[in-house]
Chain A
Amino acid sequence: MSYKFFGGVHPAEHKEATEHKAVVPLDEAPAQVVIPMSMHVGAPCKPIVAVGDEVTVGQQIGETAGLGAPIHASVSGKVVAVEPRPHAGGDKMMSVVIENDFKDTPHPSIAHRENVDSLTPQEIIDIIKNAGITGMGGAGFPTHVKLGGAVGKADTIIINGAECEPYITADHRLMLERGEAVLGGVRLLTRVLGLPVATIGIEGNKLDAVEHLRSLIPDGDTSVKIEVLKTRYPQGAEKQLIQRITGRQVPPGGLPADVGCCVFNAATSAAVYDAVVEGKPLTQRIVTLTGGAMERPQNVMAPIGTPLTHLIKQAGGFKVDPQRLLMGGPMMGNPQFNLDAPMMKGTNALLALTDEEAAIQDTEQTCLRCGRCVNVCPMHLTPVYMHMYAEKRQWEAVEAFNVMDCMECGSCNYICPARLHLVQSFRMAKFEIRGLAAKKKAKEAKA
């Protein structure tokens, strides 16, 4: 039985620049890495090292304070600063700065685990937690929390290999080059959840990855199923992927576990394998350096905390002045203005768009009411009306159109022939609505 998710768009993929390029290590390791204490959903970590400390690769340098995942050193060397540094989110964030000694001394605790088959589910969850694994698709939800919360509740496990954002090929290359690790991670996650079968969803523009993974699954093994998905953005969004694979819809404000699903990114799955089998915490990841303005587009394996300037240098600098530098893809990526900011656990791409590529600079025209936004909204919203009320600053009216369900995928904004800045307007509305709700709560608390 095959299901569909509603709406979506199909922007030009632009994956050709990097999809056939094997992942390479950095030509030159960064002299310094800046590791922010917040690379996940939840509270920032507390640094547990001080200036002058010698650290090794994989040594824990940040401990959780509430919801979160611990953070580890990605290079060996000396801590030279523990201070707020520019963060990709825009503001400054407490970071640990490590001067690289270029020795890559591993932490003594890192060792291949022999007894993997005898680990209990709880032990595996603890290993994942201590390895600091967070969702590597972008959002960065701590994996052990997601996994722990789904045990006993989830009847379906889905691995997200959709990579629906244009330009990005990090997961594609990972599945091609480290297919065993991805599948190994899938088996571990499935085991923790006690489920008989896992489904990997991969979009049809990565058929080589599909074939490769299928070739790695022994004949007669039914514990991993690979489903080829018709390429359509935002297929890789958690709710849409669940809908596409199972036909179930996550209720408003709910979690995948509410409909018995648990979704992990392909890269997260490989990280789980590395942590459980190889004993390695999450200290490096694949980043796609691409976009029309990059001199040498490529997929690179980089230590977490590598400054963006260093990644740009790796790609040979800019061919032309980029209009925009994005962390992530062109649909949901985060624009960067300070190149000293570092890449993080969820950074799957660094994208330098030229003036022509970032065509969104077009001025806004008037809404035609063409209804294309309504027909592409995967969350069944009516952006045309939401925008109309948001422009009039009638926040309650916008809320009545369920603007809080909007996940800011940008499909409506992409398709709009009048080039209205719809997502911006909905972000604004959500911000205002949250503000109003907080005010109301404060008032009630007073009374």
Chain B
Amino acid sequence: MSEGTRKLGVASSPHVSSPIGTRSLMLDVVISLIPALCIAIYFFGPAALTKTAVSVAACVFFEWGYRKILKKTSTIGDLSAVITGILLVFVCPVTLPYWTIIIGDFFAIVVTKQLFGGLGKNFLNPALSGRAFLMMSYPVLMTTWVKPGMANWIPAFGSTVDAATGATPLSVDFMHSGIIPDASLMDMFIGNIGGCVGEISALMLLIGGVYLVVRGVIRVRIPVSFIATVAVLTFIFPKSGNGNFEWMMYNLLGGGLMLGAIFMATDYVTSPVTAKGEIYYGVGCGLLTVFIRYFGGYPEGVSYAILIMNACSWLLDKAGKPNRFGVTPEMRKAAKEKAKKEASAS
């Protein structure tokens, strides 16, 4: 090293960056999904694990393959495809055949995500749009439930005796006729109920959610406003003379609300970025969920609610633009009045 030959870097400030990168954020999301996966394996048997593994592999393969064919830089290292793979299985019944899962993965990764430009460019949540696609294409397969329990660990018994006899607590009977399911609230909370792979245990999903909040990966505004909206509406308007609180609790713990509010609605790419926008978005998700549950053809509405709100994200960011620094409410009011006067004058 001699004087005069040393090369100094010159770049725009700042010259340091946070240790947290895209990959570490995504890894945190994967970690936060592990508790829900564990309880799914416990209640639904090893199929929950193998189907998740296949789905992850398929998503990573499609992501890699698409970008390879189009000669783009590979993005599998950012782990976002892994999350899509896990989440897609989480919103499907455990009985769904492998080939169907792979079709869903293809739709999620290639159609929803890569055709729009890849990570950060898609305007719909890939996993949820994959589910919506499967729901429309294979409605019977997508609504075949099994009872949770040890029987699922013995495939012979699981497939012949128990399959299709289970039902999700959020059935047509419940939502449209107001019949409270036979699962206790405790079972609902722990996850000892029928349903999609990842949505059954509110407890495990909350553990994952708390992890994400503590690690600063997600902000609480969307999940809290989403869940609170559903809670308030179902508390005020119980169906068929059910107790307000009981009705509300079954609505909160049943179906995909926790999974949707904590993991799907908070998807970075498809949710608003401004504080006010996030709250509008969460409330919108909650309203649509309750509307679809109460008045829609499906007993469950979380996934469609989120997909519809996904499409509004940019609009909500516009509506939720932060107050300009240094502009007081009085100054805003004065500016508005001035604009009004000018408009009426011309």
Contact = CB atoms under 8 A, between A and B. Distances in A.
Interface of A: 9, 11-12, 166, 239, 249-252, 254, 318, 321-326, 330-337, 353, 357-362, 365-371, 373-375, 378-382, 384-385, 402, 405, 408, 410, 413-419, 421, 423-424, 427
Interface string B298-322: 0000000000000000000100011
A359 B12 contact: no
B21 A368 contact: no
Interface string B133-145: 0000000000000
Interface in B248-270: 268-270
Contacts of B273: 369-371, 373-374, 382, 384
24 contacts: A249-B326, A251-B326, A252-B326, A322-B8, A325-B8, A330-B14, A333-B15, A335-B8, A357-B16, A360-B11, A360-B17, A361-B9, A362-B17, A365-B22, A366-B119, A368-B120, A371-B278, A374-B273, A382-B273, A413-B17, A414-B17, A415-B20, A417-B22, A418-B120
B123 to A, nearest CB: 10
Contacts of A368: 22, 25, 119-120, 268-269
B6 interface: yes
A358 B16 contact: yes
Given A251-B331, A414-B14, A366 B9 contact: no
Contacts, number: 162
Contacts of B120: 366-369, 418
Of B21, B278, B323, B328, most buried by chain A (CB within 10 Å of CB) is B21
A414 B269 CA distance: 20
A367 B1 CA distance: 39
B167 to A, nearest CB: 38
A417 B14 contact: no
B327 interface: yes
Contact of B13 (A365, A381, A384, A408): A408
Given A360-B15, A365-B78, A371-B274, 9 more contacts: A239-B326, A249-B325, A378-B325, A382-B274, A385-B317, A414-B14, A415-B20, A416-B18, A417-B21
A366 B268 contact: no
Given A251-B331, A330-B15, A367-B120, A382 B321 contact: yes
Main secondary structure of the interface of B (DSSP, over half): loop
Contacts of A326: 15
A336 to B, nearest CB: 7
B118 interface: yes
B319 to A, nearest CB: 12
Contacts of A371: 219, 268, 271-274, 278
Contacts of B11: 324, 335, 360-361, 424
B324 interface: yes
Interface in B44-92: 78
Q: What 6 A-B pairs come out closest when comparing CB atoms?
A: A371-B273, A410-B14, A424-B12, A251-B326, A380-B322, A366-B120
A418 B22 contact: yes
Contact of A249 (B20, B21, B121, B328): B328
Contact of A382 (B269, B317, B327): B317
A261 B325 CA distance: 16
A83 B114 CA distance: 58
B10 interface: yes
Contacts of B274: 371, 374, 382
Given A365-B22, A366-B118, A384-B273, A331 B12 contact: no
A369 B22 contact: no
